[in-house]
Amino acid sequence: MAPSRLTQHRVDTLKPGRKARDIRDRDIRGFGVRILPSGRKRYFLHSQVDGRRVWHAIGDAKTISLECARSKANALLAPKRDAGPVAPIQFEAVAEEVFRRYARHWKPRTLTVNLGYFRNQILPWFRGMAIADITRSDVERWFASLHATPVAANRSAPVLSVILKQAEVYGYRLEGTNPCSGIRRYRRRGRERFLTTDEIRRLSRTLDRHHDRFPLLASIIRLLLLTGCRSSEILTLRWPEYREANLHLSDSKVGPRTVWLSSAARRVLDDLPRSGSWVFPSSRGNRHLSADTLHLFWRKVRAEAAIEDVRCHDLRHTYASVALAHGETILAIGRLLGHTDPATTLKYTHLADATVRDAAEALAPILGGES
């Protein structure tokens, strides 16, 4: 909307809409009023300092008059009037700052993955754009452009959201303007694969055949199935973390957590030799077995067990499905898997459909007066 002269009457009569909107003043460059969906109105000033676009919150329209807000805006602009035009700061400069300052909030592997999505999916589209001018429409067009790679799109969106949210924190965008908010992700067909009882037996027999030659690798697979742990949690396990009959992981995807072990899982660990700190040491230096070594072994095992479509991570899904089938609650399963958000565990509820149908059939004769 083109700037027009603000008057007190106009400010007083502005009505809220479904989204926040800005009405800018014609007389003072960068000055205006923002109307929120709640009806609240705030005066702001958009200026530039040392090449950065900075948003100044001047005050609530209920508490200060338009004249007072104009005076405050002029006072903020006074030191800058002779500075001359300054080019708006670009997206890539802010993104670089965000990755430098925000990196401590991400684990090293997460940081590496996020950098990959930034360089490959985000930067080519937004390079050269002024960070303060990126709109909801820009983000929606970018997201639509990635429709052929929905997984990359879904995983890139949170990275872009962090960049734009931190741009607000650092003063490059007006607070509360993150255009990524509410972007609907692409739906994906469920990839969860759950082993049947017969498949679990075949897998167990295959591991028995390989145990003498590859005891560490076979034990890792058994623990994945018996604990529901992520493969990274088992590969990086250290002996001091196995105590009091449980695993006390110092660092997992969700931070420190306790893994409660069954007697079968404890037997697997108790039968392993202890040499050094790692439970599953590599033969090459003081480090643990690599994920690549595990996956090579897993491909061989799953082919022999005739479960070629099963990933290592599906053993975690199988653990959850068996627990649900045996009457464990979603809350208990979430704790067993180390989920911090109960909604993450809810994806397993469809596994209980058969149990619910059986219960309904069992209740029908009783409730229908047939017994």
Q: pLDDT of 106-160, one tens digit each?
A: 888 789 899 999 999 999 999 999 888 888 899 999 999 999 888 899 999 999 9
Please name the residues in contact with 195: beta carbons below 8 A apart, sequence gap of 6 or more: 203, 307, 310, 314, 315, 318
pLDDT, tens digit, 9 for 90 and up, residues 334-371: 666 666 666 666 566 555 454 445 545 555 565 555 54
Instruction: Kindly tell me the burial class for residue 64, based on how many C-beta atoms sit within 10 Å of its own C-beta (0-12, 13-18, 19 or more).
Output: middle
Q: Is 143 helix (H, G, I), strand (E, B) or coil?
A: helix
Q: Sorting pLDDT into bands at 50, 70 and 90, what band is 26?
A: confident
Among 111, 313, 333, residue whose Cα is nearest residue 230: 313
Amino acid letter at 157? A
d(CA 142, CA 117): 13
Query: Which pLDDT does position 272 carry in this prediction?
Result: 94
pLDDT over 90, % of the chain = 33
Query: Which pLDDT does position 277 carry in this prediction?
Result: 92
Q: Is 156 helix (H, G, I), strand (E, B) or coil?
A: helix
What's the whole-number average pLDDT of the chain? 82
Distances (CA, A) of 156 to 105, 112, 153, 273: 17, 13, 5, 43
d(CA 114, CA 286): 28
Query: Which pLDDT does position 170 carry in this prediction?
Result: 81
Query: Which pLDDT does position 127 carry in this prediction?
Result: 92
Distances (CA, A) of 252 to 223, 230, 249, 256, 276: 16, 9, 7, 6, 21
CA end-to-end distance (rounded Å), the chain:
73
pLDDT at 18 over 90: no
How are strands ordered across the β-sheet holding 31-35?
A: 21-24, 31-35, 41-49, 52-60
Q: Which residue has the tokens 């937004």?
A: 126
Instruction: Kindly tell me the burial class for residue 159, based on how many C-beta atoms sit within 10 Å of its own C-beta (0-12, 13-18, 19 or more).
Output: buried
Amino acid letter at 327? G
Look at phi and psi of residue 56 and say left if phi exceeds 0, alpha if psi is from -120 to 50, else beta.
Answer: beta
